[in-house]
Amino acid sequence: MTNHEEAFIKRIADRKAIVAIAGLGYVGLPLALSFAEVGFQVLGLDIDEEKIRKIGRRESYIGHISDERLKGSANLFSASTDFHLAREADALIICVPTPLTREREPDLAFVEGTLAALLDHLRPGQLLSLESTTFPGTTEEVLRPPIEARGLTIGKDFFLVYSPEREDPANPDFQTQTIPKVLGGSTESSARVGLALYGQVVERMVPVSSTRAAELTKLLENIYRAVNIGLVNELKVVASRMGLDIHEIINAAATKPFGYTPFYPGPGIGGHCIPIDPFYLTWKARGYGVHTRFIELAGEINAGMPRYVVDKISAALNDRSKPLRGSRILLLGMAYKKNVEDMRESPSLEVLGLLAQAGAQVEYSDPHVPLMPRTRRGDFGLRSVPLTPESLASFDAAVLLTDHRAFDKPFILKHSNLVIDTRGAFPAAPTVVKA
Q: How many helices (H) and strands (E) does the chain have?
A: 16, 13
Coil vs helix vs strand at 87? helix
**Catalytic hit among 273, 309, 355, 413:** 273
| Burial (Cβ within 10 Å: 0-12, 13-18, ≥19) of residue 390 | exposed
Helix ranges restricted to H, 199-276:
211-241, 246-253
Query: Going edge to edge, which strands form the sheet with 361-365?
Result: 361-365, 328-332, 397-400, 419-421, 432-434
- How far apart, in Å, are the Cα atoms of 367 and each of 9, 348, 385, 394, 414? 45, 14, 9, 19, 19
**DSSP code of residue 142:** I
95 tagged catalytic: no
CB 267 within 8 A of CB 306: yes
- How far apart, in Å, are the Cα atoms of 77 and each of 58, 80, 285, 369? 10, 10, 40, 28
In 3D space, the residue among 92, 97, 157 whose CA is nearest the CA of residue 119 turns out to be 92
Residue 329 pairs with which residues in a beta bridge? 362, 397
- Side chain identity at 433, as an amino acid letter? V
In 3D space, the residue among 190, 183, 181, 184 whose CA is nearest the CA of residue 160 turns out to be 190
CB 250 within 8 A of CB 244: no
| Burial (Cβ within 10 Å: 0-12, 13-18, ≥19) of residue 89 | buried
Query: Is the sign of the CA dihedral 168, 173, 178, 184 positive or negative?
Result: negative
Exposed e or buried b per residue across 229-251, where buried means at least 16 C-beta atoms within 10 angstroms of its C-beta: bbbbbbbbbebbeeeeebbeebe
The set of catalytic residues is 273
